[in-house]
Amino acid sequence: MTCSQSSRGIIASRLRLARQMAGLSQGQVARTLDWHRPTVSEIEAGRRRVSSEELTLLADLYGVGVPWILGNEDSSSSDRALLAARELGKLGDEDLDRLLKLIQSLRDRNGS
C-alpha cells in the first residue's frame, strides 16, 4: 500500500464515521450536495479521490474540521469530542447517568 492509498483510507474511514455520527445516509449526503449516491460510496470506500472543495463541503455538512478528516492528530481532540457529544445526545437519562459514573471511575482510577 502506497502512502497516498494509506491516506485515502484514513480520509475514507473518517468521512464515513463523520457521516454516520451526523446521522446521515449516503443518499441524504448525495441529495444535499447534488451528487450521485455512488460518488459518496466510492469516496467512503477509498476508491475515489476527494478534491479540496469536496472535502470542505463534506466537513461543513458533517460539522467536523478538514484537518481531522485528513488524519491530523493535532486537531482530532475537539472534533472527536464533538462526534462523541452527538452520540451522547441520543442517550436516555439512565444511560447518561451510567456513563457519567463510568467516566468518574476512570478519572478516579487515573488519579485525575
Per-residue pLDDT tens over the stretch 51-61: 999 999 999 99
Are 75 and 68 within 8 A, CB to CB?
A: yes
Residue with grid cell 473518517, as numbered in its chain: 14
Q: Which domain holds residue 45?
A: 3-109
CATH number at residue 67: 1.10.260.40
How would residue 42 be classed by pLDDT, with cut points 50, 70 and 90?
very high
How would residue 74 be classed by pLDDT, with cut points 50, 70 and 90?
low
Task: Provide the mean pLDDT of the chain.
Answer: 86
Q: Total domain count for the chain?
A: 1
pLDDT, position 5: 57
| Model pTM score | 0.68
